[in-house]
Chains A and B, each alone.
Chain A
Amino acid sequence: MDSSQLFGITMIAYLLSSAFYLALFIFRNSTPGFIGMLLAAAGLLIQTVGIGLRWYESYQIGIGHAPLTNMYESLVFFSWCTALFYLAMELKYKTRVIGAFVMPFAFIALAYASFSDRINDQISPLIPALQSNWLIAHVVTCFIGYGAFAVAGSLGMIYLLKKSAGDKPAQEGLFSSLPELKIIDDLTHKTIIFGFMWLSAGIITGAIWANEAWGTYWSWDPKETWSIITWFVYALTLHARFTRGWSGTRIAWLAIIGFVAVFFTYFGVNFLLSGLHSYGSS
């Protein structure tokens, strides 16, 4: 049994979990929702073991390092963060049906990691630039933020869906299983706050690391620039809410735009632009 097999099992668990959550959403039957949650939890557990195993495997082949160093590993970690954040939210706020919109992200990230041609799943040794204790702090803080923003983006989508259905009584049945608009709005806000803390921490740890490795804490490299763009978008969202009283549809759109910025910071920069962070692209 190696780590990639465990990730394969996790991927199937997340796919099934998404399907069961979706069944809860459509049929409003609580049994599939419970199964969906169990599958997500089991998947998360297996994935955790898989990440630990991959870490161990890297030591076995004599180049030990945390499994956070290339696109494959980061996708696995992104999927893990998203699932973990979602399950914690479900536990705290009892909003099971939201899983139908979040678990697909966890599944897609894993599926893309496993099946895409441009992603190499080999454990490779660390180039000198990555040999630093800041690696774990930087990647973990960023990805907790990314995971939260993925959930916030989904919540934004759910809000807009529910809202648009509200005007059309014919479809009311389908979306009535979603939480109330006020609750979705509140959750979106809380999730953005949480993500914003971690994104800030991620940018800061990245800046300190850059100063250790390259002699400059900020060089407007595309990755850095996109991370600050993302930070601006969420800062704008929070100020609009706190001081201008924005909520509902506008915040939902900002949550989605914010996640697009996150997505571009994470993927777009690696695949479309060139820069210092290029090791993340293979």
Chain B
Amino acid sequence: MTKTSKNPLLAFFSSVQLALFLLFLMAGTSIIGTIIPQNAPPGRYLEQYGAKMARFMELLNLTDMYNSRWFLLLLLLFALNLIVCSLERIPQVIKIIKRDNLDTSADRLEKMGLRARVTLPGGAQEGEAHIRKVFQQQGWKPQQRQQKDGTLFFAEKGAWTRFGVYIVHLSILIVLLGALIGSSTVAKKLLRDPSFAFKGSVMIPESRQSEVIYAFKSGTPIELGFGVRCDYFTIEYYPNGMPKTYLSKVTVVEDGAEVLSTDIKVNSPLTYKGITFYQSSYQPYQDYVVTLQKGAAELQTSSIIPHSQQQQWSEAGITYGIINRENRGEVTRRVKVWLSDGQGEPSIFWVNLGQEALVERPSGSYTFQAKQLYATGLQVTKDPGVWLVYGGCILMLIGLYVAFFMSHRKLFAMLRSDGSSATILFAGSANKNKVGFEKKFEDLAGTNR
């Protein structure tokens, strides 16, 4: 180790104590945000904690702590610590890896944890043949060098695994970088381009189209560059009344042309041009999409109508309307329909939404179908950093595996011969999983037979 005085700032950022302290601090402070509700309306804090406490919490940004400057500063310090710490240690690792192991003296071998001595009849050639056989049995390729008191054979495996922990460190930095690139705050304030990365939402009524979405929190409209039309929205239920599926059928419209139509469900979003649309909410309206058909599709009409309002279908000479409905909350279950063709008594009947009703009239038979008008609530996200985050995550798992379960193993054999017999001293070391290597070593050196 060189004793040159280091830059104190560098020394501070390269210390493991700082890493331990930051991990402790991040773990400790993170708890706060799980106890104090985050991003609730200000009135709620006032009510729950009193004016003084609410003021204090606002001062420390505890109501949105994970986006607060002090928490982001912690993350920044953590990232700096990771970088400096790793950069300082990697040269040492390279030095260890590049060490000239053939320079190891017999005395050093004698001090290694794993040793075995074998004596064979015959000369140096027999001894070398034995050593080569032992190494090659397990696929180790030995190098050799003549030393003053014998010939040293050496082979190693997994030297690169010493970098495992730095792979993990790098992966964390990649994840943080990905998060930075995908951050809407960075896009807005640093890049001054809110459409680079954003999170927002939009409510689109059935049959309508939207070219903009609205950013979370600020509500700023963001242009999509194309339109999204909601063709249809429905909720399916299980027999016990629990919701089974929220489904939107949507069409992407670009330059006046329909580009694609698809279904969006929870867990099955639509991604188009880097922008992803998630099913996140819905809004039932007290209007109905009514489809009327005469006979076997001779005539057909479809229109959105409010309730308690008389409608004309002049083509077929029909007057109709929804005169009553049965709601559960805002969701309508069935409607009462009034329908007349001007001949005889009008037909009045209940029909469940989504089901067809067949109406026999003097002027012919009609099929009536109604569904409630919904708006689908889509969350809309553009996150150009997500693939970096995913890549970082995969790298982290690989790095953890390498760091914890793979080791740098070395195997030495010192051959000495006096013409009539050869003495071989096997020695080995591993930087991790020493027990596992011990078994292998015993197999190799033949002391296990």
Interface set of A (CB-CB < 8 Å, partner B): 63, 124-125, 127-129, 131-132, 193, 196-197, 200-201, 204, 207-208, 211-218, 220, 222, 225-226, 228-229, 232-233, 235-236, 239-240, 242-244, 261, 269, 273-274
Contacts and interface: CB of A to CB of B under 8 A. Distances in A.
B276 interface: yes
Contact of A204 (B242, B381, B386, B393): B393
Contacts of B16: 239, 243-244
Given A225-B34, A236-B20, A213 B381 contact: no
Given A129-B266, A218-B179, A261-B27, 17 more contacts: A125-B238, A196-B400, A197-B400, A200-B400, A204-B396, A204-B397, A208-B390, A212-B268, A215-B276, A216-B383, A225-B30, A229-B31, A232-B23, A235-B23, A239-B23, A244-B16, A269-B34
Contacts of B240: 124-125
Contact of A131 (B30, B199, B267, B393): B267
Contact of A128 (B179, B246, B380, B401): B246
B400 to A, nearest CB: 5
A129 B27 contact: no
Contacts of B31: 225, 229
Nearest to A196: B400
B278 to A, nearest CB: 4
B33 interface: yes
Contacts of A239: 16, 19-20, 23
Nearest to A131: B267
A229 B35 CA distance: 13
A183 to B, nearest CB: 11
Contacts of B33: 220, 225
Contacts of B279: 128
B34 A132 contact: no
The 7 closest A-B pairs by CB, nearest first: A232-B27, A128-B266, A222-B34, A236-B23, A215-B381, A215-B278, A132-B267
A213 B266 contact: yes
Contacts of A273: 34-35
Nearest to A232: B27
B66 A220 contact: yes
In terms of DSSP, what is the predominant structure of the interface of chain A?
helix
B404 interface: yes
A133 B112 CA distance: 50
B269 A215 contact: yes
A220 B278 contact: no
B30 A128 contact: no
A237 to B, nearest CB: 9
B98 interface: no
9 contacts: A125-B242, A196-B400, A204-B393, A208-B390, A213-B267, A215-B276, A217-B386, A220-B38, A236-B20
Nearest to A129: B266
B243 to A, nearest CB: 6
B26 A214 contact: no
Nearest to B235: A128
B170 interface: no
B199 to A, nearest CB: 7
A128 B35 contact: no
A226 B26 CA distance: 11
B108 interface: no
A57 B16 CA distance: 52
B404 A193 contact: yes
Contacts of A125: 238, 240, 242, 244
Contacts of A243: 16
B400 A127 contact: no
Contacts of A129: 266-267
Contacts of B265: 128
A225 to B, nearest CB: 5
A213 B380 CA distance: 12
Contacts of A235: 23
Contact of B243 (A124, A127, A211): A127
Contacts of B397: 197, 200-201, 204
Contacts of A228: 30
B197 to A, nearest CB: 12
B379 interface: yes
A197 B199 CA distance: 31
B389 interface: yes
B439 to A, nearest CB: 13
A123 B393 CA distance: 34
Contact of A213 (B17, B245, B278): B278
